[in-house]
Copies of this chain bind each other. A is one copy, B any other.
């Protein structure tokens, strides 16, 4: 079997698993404290519209639903099995899948190769049984997965996330949850999410190939602790015609050891990973918040045609913070044209009390949206500017320049990344308004700058695209 076959088989299988018509929960219980209960609630709370079958050998009814004694008793095919079972019972349950047409199983149990030699032997058995009965595994040692497109939360953390184009592949359920919680808070819509666990059946490359083909996924984020085959993973990621953002932990030996006992993989050298990632055009981030910021920008805004950033502000400091990060990440801050400066002077008077440079800090001339708008339009329209970065500071008595930013975007067609200095809770309305026009809005200067740099990076990758 050559790798290409493997990939296309895996993608086909992942499609079946991510789009099931029927799901059985093995080991459902009526105790809200238990995983089995929460797997069922997760499906119902999420709003999955396929058929759901709770299974338990002795229960009659849970959450008002008939409980089946066994998989065999279900009078239907079962596409996906969710196992709320321990590591031994999960293994045994695979046999029961025979004859039910089961495509895949979510195996949340830990106790496999991440715990040592005995666990590794058990996992090998699990893998063998899965193959024998034609069942592909998500996990083991995973939280599960989400296909938000069809409201499927194959999970035991009942939740409901905003919809959108961002999909995530996470080698840690906890970090993956941290990312989706932060994403939900920032209004980033989630498409698909998977905790890869011990990767008994599917590798990073398989999930990447699947999401690469997935029609509704527009950007892919990966959290990696370690993998034996980083080069294959990044080659796949680099060949996908969608932005891929990667967050890798494990800079130290101690951390490598922790990762080894988490998902049974060596963490490897951080530097080696970074170099490989960059070589293949992946965008590397260094925190969960940076992951969310970059994914928000990449899922929403067009990559600019070049790396020249214009910063427009009425408060200098945040523009300097942003400039610092942008310059570090390969962006340039071009001079504005003489025409731009003339037009600015036409509004501010011939000798405004500020220096006409980039970043352009117009101070009091930018306090009010009505003045902010026309000046922003001039700067955004400058032919030297590929991406424009407007900064506005919240004021109790003055409104945000949302409509003006949208207007400037429509008039100039440039890529915009907006920064409002304010509490998150205060800018929800403008965030939605701007998002509707492909403009991500941030409230911390560093996140805005990193997101803008990610868009520039993406643009460069698209222009310099090479066969890999």
Closest beta carbon of chain B to A317's beta carbon, Å: 2
Pair A324/B252 contact, Cβ less than 8 Å: yes
How far is B364's CA from A86's CA once the two chains are assembled, in angstroms?
11
A391 contacts the other chain (CB 8 A): yes
Selected contact of A250 from candidates B38, B185, B320, B391, CB within 8 Å: B320
A468 contacts the other chain (CB 8 A): no
- The residue of chain B having its C-beta at the shortest distance from the C-beta of A175 within the complex is B317
Pair B288/A172 contact, Cβ less than 8 Å: no
Pair B33/A398 contact, Cβ less than 8 Å: yes
How far is B255's CA from A146's CA once the two chains are assembled, in angstroms?
43
Pair A261/B391 contact, Cβ less than 8 Å: no
Pair A327/B254 contact, Cβ less than 8 Å: yes
Closest beta carbon of chain B to A120's beta carbon, Å: 13
Binary interface encoding of chain A residues 217-255 relative to chain B, with 1 for a CB under 8 A from any of its CBs, else 0? 000000101000000000000000000000001111011
Selected contact of A173 from candidates B115, B315, B359, B422, CB within 8 Å: B315
- The residue of chain B having its C-beta at the shortest distance from the C-beta of A258 within the complex is B320
- The residue of chain B having its C-beta at the shortest distance from the C-beta of A259 within the complex is B320
Closest beta carbon of chain B to A376's beta carbon, Å: 16
**A residues 162-221 with Cβ under 8 Å of B?**
170-178, 181-182, 184-185
Determine the chain B residues whose CB is within 8 A of the CB of A35 once the complex forms.
364, 367
**A residues 387-430 with Cβ under 8 Å of B?**
391, 393-398, 421-425
A116 contacts the other chain (CB 8 A): yes
- The residue of chain B having its C-beta at the shortest distance from the C-beta of A368 within the complex is B33
Determine the chain B residues whose CB is within 8 A of the CB of A110 once the complex forms.
353-354, 363-364
**A residues 376-393 with Cβ under 8 Å of B?**
391, 393
Given A172-B315, A397-B41, A333-B254 contact (CB < 8 Å): yes
Determine the chain B residues whose CB is within 8 A of the CB of A320 once the complex forms.
172, 225, 249-250, 255, 258-259, 262
How far is B367's CA from A178's CA once the two chains are assembled, in angstroms?
16
A446 contacts the other chain (CB 8 A): yes
| Copies, count | 2
A87 contacts the other chain (CB 8 A): yes
Pair A45/B396 contact, Cβ less than 8 Å: yes
Pair A225/B317 contact, Cβ less than 8 Å: yes
How far is B395's CA from A159's CA once the two chains are assembled, in angstroms?
9
Pair A288/B45 contact, Cβ less than 8 Å: no
Selected contact of A444 from candidates B32, B287, B313, B424, CB within 8 Å: B287
Pair A181/B394 contact, Cβ less than 8 Å: yes
A319 contacts the other chain (CB 8 A): yes
Given A320-B250, A397-B41, A255-B353 contact (CB < 8 Å): no
Beyond A110-B354, A288-B321, 16 additional contacts (C-beta under 8 Å) are A33-B397, A33-B398, A110-B364, A115-B355, A171-B317, A172-B317, A172-B320, A174-B421, A176-B317, A178-B443, A185-B423, A223-B317, A252-B327, A254-B323, A255-B323, A262-B361
Residues of A within 8 A of B (CB): 32-33, 35, 37-38, 41, 45, 86-87, 110-111, 114-116, 119, 157-159, 170-178, 181-182, 184-185, 223, 225, 249-252, 254-255, 257-259, 261-263, 287-289, 313, 315-321, 323-324, 327-328, 333, 353-355, 357, 359, 361, 363-364, 367-368, 391, 393-398, 421-425, 443-447
Complex A-B: 19 CB contacts under 8 Å: A41-B397, A45-B396, A111-B353, A157-B396, A170-B317, A172-B317, A174-B318, A174-B421, A178-B444, A178-B445, A185-B425, A249-B320, A250-B324, A254-B327, A255-B324, A258-B357, A258-B359, A262-B316, A262-B317
